[in-house]
């Protein structure tokens, strides 16, 4: 026999409101922390282009925060096209970006694997995935 739960609608509304508040606080915190996190994780324009192409495989509408705006990336002569605050795909092959390697500076060379599971790619370079 089913029993009627008193105030079930109010509990559901309360959970919905709590989820909305947590979502808002998380997004606000991440918006402030994003520049630092992107720098720490080495997420740059090429990862952004890859992310955009991944999202384009989804048939519905998607939303992506992009902080570069319409400013050009100095070391990328061909990048994503930005118009009216929106990022648009292009017809170039691959991710649709190109990198001018002469403008890049070598920061570090990875010669040893990190602690934990490491694998070698066919070309001999190290990777952890």
Nearest to 77 by CA among 52, 96, 100: 100
Are 101 and 46 a contacting pair, CB within 8 Å? no
Q: Which residues pair with 127 in a beta bridge?
A: 119
Distance between CA atoms of 116 and 107, rounded to whole angstroms? 23
The pLDDT of residue 15: 94
The pLDDT of residue 78: 82
Distance between CA atoms of 15 and 10, rounded to whole angstroms? 9
Q: State phi, psi for 11 to the nearest 5 degrees.
A: -65, -45
The pLDDT of residue 65: 66
The pLDDT of residue 128: 65
- For residue 5, give Cα distances in angstroms to 11, 12, 59: 10, 12, 40
* Mean pLDDT per 10-residue segment, the chain (129 residues): 78 93 84 72 72 73 68 79 75 81 80 68 73
User: For the chain, what are the domain ranges?
Assistant: 9-33, 44-104
């Amino acid at each position: 026999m089913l029993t009627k739960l008193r105030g079930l609608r109010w509990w559901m509304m309360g959970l919905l409101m709590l989820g909305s508040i947590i979502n808002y606080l998380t997004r606000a915190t991440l918006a402030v922390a994003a520049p630092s996190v992107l720098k720490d994780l080495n997420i740059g324009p090429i990862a952004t282009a890859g992310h955009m192409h991944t999202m384009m495989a989804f048939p519905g509408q998607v939303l992506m925060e992009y902080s570069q705006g319409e400013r050009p990336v100095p070391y990328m002569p061909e990048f994503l096209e930005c118009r009216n605050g929106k990022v648009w795909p292009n017809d170039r092959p691959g991710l649709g970006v190109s990198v001018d390697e002469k403008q890049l500076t070598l920061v570090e060379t990875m010669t040893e694997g990190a602690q934990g599971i490491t694998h070698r790619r066919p070309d001999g370079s190290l990777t952890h995935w």
